[in-house]
Amino acid sequence: SPTFDPTQLASSNQVHHPVTKDVIGGIAIGALFGIGIGAFFGFGNGYSVSKGK
């Protein structure tokens, strides 16, 4: 591919490179969603507790 891809240099000789790329992308997206949901509920609960007292 013409675009620069760091993962392509490391695994250019692997047949299952696209699958590996999808797995890495899925883990990254999952981590971002996990952090976002955790922060959302964390701030929401903290706000409710502080407002209730």
- Structure pTM? 0.40
What is the predicted pLDDT for the residue at 38? 86
What is the predicted pLDDT for the residue at 1? 46
Q: What is the mean pLDDT of each run of 10 residues along the chain (53 residues)?
A: 59 62 88 88 76 63
Domain count, the chain: 1
**Structural domain that includes position 22:** 6-51
Domain membership flag for residue 1:
no
Residue environment code for 18-53, b if the CB has 16+ CB neighbours within 10 A, otherwise e: eeeeeeeeeeeeeeeeeeeeeeeeeeeeeeeeeeee
What is the predicted pLDDT for the residue at 18? 73
